[in-house]
Structure 1
Amino acid sequence: MTTQFSLFRRTWLAGLVLSAAAAPVLAQFRVEVKGVGLTQLPIAIAPFKGEDQSPQKIAAIVQADLERSGLFRAVDAAGVALDEASRPDVALWRQRGADSLAVGSVIRLADGRFDVRFRLWNVVGGQDLGGQSYTVTTGDLRLAAHRIADFIYEKLTGERGVFSTRITYVTKAGSRFTLWVADADGENSQTALASPEPIISPAWSPDGLRIAYVSFESRKPVIYVHEVASGRRRLIANFRGSNSAPAWSPDGRSLAVTLSRDGGSQLYTIDANGGEPRRLMQSSGIDTEPAYAPDGRTIYFVSDRGGAPQIYKVSSSGGNPERVSFSGAYNISPTVSPDGRWLAYVSRVNGGSFKLQLMELATGNVTALTDTSADESPSFAPNSRLLMYSTQQQGREALMTTTLDGKIKARLGGRTGDIREPDWGPFLKP
């Protein structure tokens, strides 16, 4: 185990002898939303006509997506019989307290596929805001629901929804490590890689087609790039010593990595297809956990050059670093929001608790977002509106999302097993 992991990463690497008899990890997730935001849009999602015969309850998935965003409050629509062709009694829905209403239907076709349709209404102004229709297989019913939620979110907020994006994370069950790809709500998880050796630091490529990660299958940390659709992978960095902490450049052409090939853990950039790495700077300390700013010009990273782990930034072409974090004596795991406004990271407080922090880069103001004490691996949603992270809650490992004000949190974690290292994928091209 390299010094950098023991210093900066509170992963399973410090405890690979932990409970080999751990219960198996469940692939299915349950979303629990807690908290109330200051401003939420009241919306009714009527049960979709015919969804009793569907293996997925479209209305419930859409409602959970919207509630998890923190911007919507559900208005009870149970027992309502409407579909996309219905013209609702808008006065009735106004009386129920709704500003908007979504209605739709799910019909099973002769070939086994499903026809999913919906329409969105502004019941305050009595306006038809449009709709969509999808013809999908059983396996894509959840995706159709997420796309409906994206449509509603964008129509009512003016911003792009993230519900049809994907996440990746790692689980450890006994001595088995698994890299998963799942929907943004944690459901529909698929195995990308399984190994008896640790898998850490998965990172989505900007095009959402590849994942870089670190594998210990050769008994040392080595960096691979994995094509999600085909399962093919390419060895990117297997130099002497440790190869770790891959971070994609915004153009997807290169990776920032941490290598100890020349002594000590230092930052390099390397072509996304492999090749000879280029060292960014010289340091007598440990430099690790790089994260690009969205413009590609700056790399944030963790270094102990000042005596304890803090967050710094440096030009992506190299040069002299500048310290960024000053609140707290131990700050790690930086990540920058896609809009470039926010820096999220984990800070050790009160001697041993690790808590998620959010810094506004323009002002340097820092806000603590959580009341848990074992937070790890923050990752922004591609619209910069939510943060995903792993933590321990009531003695269980969990994946969580939080709004940037910390007021609304959703648990995505399974019931058993270690669930760690989440990363939120980008928007996918239509």
Structure 2
Amino acid sequence: MRAYLEIWDVASDTSHLVMEVDRHIEAPNFTADGQALIVNCDGRLYRVPLDDPRLIPIDTGQQDRINNDHGPSPDGQWLAFCDKSLTGQTGLFVMPLAGGTARQVVLGLPSWFHGWDPSGDGLIYAGVRGQGAQRQFAILRADLRSGAEDVLITGTGHYDGPEMTADGRWIWFNSNRSGPMALWRMRADGCGVQQMTDGTQDDWFPHPSPDGLHLCYLAYERGTEGHPFGVDVDLRLMPLAGGPSRLLRRIHGGQGCLNGPCWSPDGLRFAYVHYQ
């Protein structure tokens, strides 16, 4: 397994190789200053300085089953991540960006982090809630301090990958609520749900750019079950206001390539991983 960590520059339509490693790194996030990336690898988190690319461990204490759902707060002080070493199922935690003691933000399990409220006061995530036959996927928001949880949308289909636009008006997500897995958006309160892609492919993990112009995402072959690793997928870009998307490149991987928030703070670049 060889992983290639790259940055796509939107203006020049080119990709720059940051680092290649013989390890399974996943889901790069930019730090708030734009000077480094954060990735997960083998259940831990690592910082990758862009001026000297290498994997620098971030201290996560006992938590060593961290997945690819992670991202720094808008002010660069905190890091949200998901781990199941202490909870059995995937739980949502926050700790200082430099590392240290983490606290579980919400008690509901499972919970999968996907983004911050632009104010930095809340977390946007997917989860499964309810009991027995009433148990369903949902998109949720939690207050960072109290952990109070609001269910924004739920249903019998799959709901995943929520991320809020920088102006706080919209939450993008992927769902098969109408049939094929497609990209959707809704108002920040869960109202005004709109389908934004046509379902000709199975679309996952929408990421709105901070400048409000673009949205990048992964597209699987139509009929793919879930979001597996080890397949060829399309890296695509579309206008954030809606409209046709375009293919940037076809890459090998799927799961782990583009799971978490991936844009640079200025909205000019985004980071991703592909594999060989």
Same fold (TM over 0.5): yes
Counterpart position of 1:390? 273
Q: Judge conservation of contact 1:281–1:320 (CA < 8 Å) in 2.
A: no
Q: In the alignment, which of 201, 209, 228 is matched to residue 97 of structure 2?
A: 228
Q: Which runs of 5+ in 1 are unaligned?
A: 1-21, 41-66, 70-161, 396-430
Tell me by how many angstroms 1:32 deviates: 8.7
Residues 284 and 188 (structure 1), Cα distance of their counterparts in 2 relative to 1, 3 Å cut: same
For residue 252 of structure 2, give the secondary structure of its aligned residue in structure 1.
coil
Counterpart position of 2:176? 304
Residues 354 and 34 (structure 1), Cα distance of their counterparts in 2 relative to 1, 3 Å cut: closer
Structure 2 Cα separation of the partners of residues 212 and 170 of structure 1: 12
Q: What's the TM-score, normalizing by structure 2?
A: 0.77
Greater strand percent: which structure? 2
Q: What's the TM-score, normalizing by structure 1?
A: 0.51
Counterpart position of 2:250? 371
Letter of the 1:356 counterpart: L
Tell me by how many angstroms 1:320 deviates: 3.6
1:327-406 equivalences under 5 Å are 328-349=200-221, 353-362=232-241, 364-375=243-254, 376-377=257-258, 379-392=262-275, 395=276
Letter of the 2:106 counterpart: A
Q: Describe the superposition over 1:138-167 as per-residue Cα deviations: whole angstroms up to 9, x where unpaired.
A: xxxxxxxxxxxxxxxxxxxxxxxx985221
Higher mean C-alpha displacement, 182-191 vs 307-316: 182-191
Counterpart position of 1:250? 118
Q: In the alignment, which of 127, 144, 161 is matched to residue 259 of structure 1?
A: 127
Residues 391 and 278 (structure 1), Cα distance of their counterparts in 2 relative to 1, 3 Å cut: same
Structure 2 Cα separation of the partners of residues 333 and 225 of structure 1: 21
1:5-404 equivalences under 5 Å are 68=16, 165-172=35-42, 177-184=43-50, 187=53, 189-192=55-58, 193=60, 195-217=63-85, 218-229=87-98, 231-239=100-108, 241-262=109-130, 263-326=135-198, 328-349=200-221, 353-362=232-241, 364-375=243-254, 376-377=257-258, 379-392=262-275, 395=276
CA RMSD between the two structures: 3.2
Residues 266 and 363 (structure 1), Cα distance of their counterparts in 2 relative to 1, 3 Å cut: closer
Greater relative contact order (Cα < 8 A, sep 6+): 2
Structure 2 Cα separation of the partners of residues 335 and 170 of structure 1: 18
Structure 2 Cα separation of the partners of residues 203 and 369 of structure 1: 24
Residues 38 and 387 (structure 1), Cα distance of their counterparts in 2 relative to 1, 3 Å cut: closer
Greater helix percent: which structure? 1
Q: Describe the superposition over 1:28-73 as per-residue Cα deviations: whole angstroms up to 9, x where unpaired.
A: x9x99999x9799xxxxxxxxxxxxxxxxxxxxxxxxxx959xxxx
Q: Describe the superposition over 1:326-358 as per-residue Cα deviations: whole angstroms up to 9, x where unpaired.
A: 263300011000011101100013775212100
Q: Judge conservation of contact 1:328–1:348 (CA < 8 Å) in 2.
A: no
Structure 2 Cα separation of the partners of residues 275 and 228 of structure 1: 19
For residue 250 of structure 2, give the secondary structure of its aligned residue in structure 1.
coil
Seq. identity, % = 19
1:404-423 equivalences under 5 Å are none
Residues 251 and 368 (structure 1), Cα distance of their counterparts in 2 relative to 1, 3 Å cut: same
Q: Judge conservation of contact 1:342–1:361 (CA < 8 Å) in 2.
A: yes
Letter of the 1:226 counterpart: M
Q: How many residues align?
A: 243
Q: Which runs of 5+ in 2 are unaligned?
A: 18-31, 225-230
Structure 1 Cα separation of the partners of residues 251 and 220 of structure 2: 12
Counterpart position of 1:61? none
Structure 2 Cα separation of the partners of residues 362 and 188 of structure 1: 36
Letter of the 1:384 counterpart: G
Residues 363 and 276 (structure 1), Cα distance of their counterparts in 2 relative to 1, 3 Å cut: closer
For residue 258 of structure 2, give the secondary structure of its aligned residue in structure 1.
strand
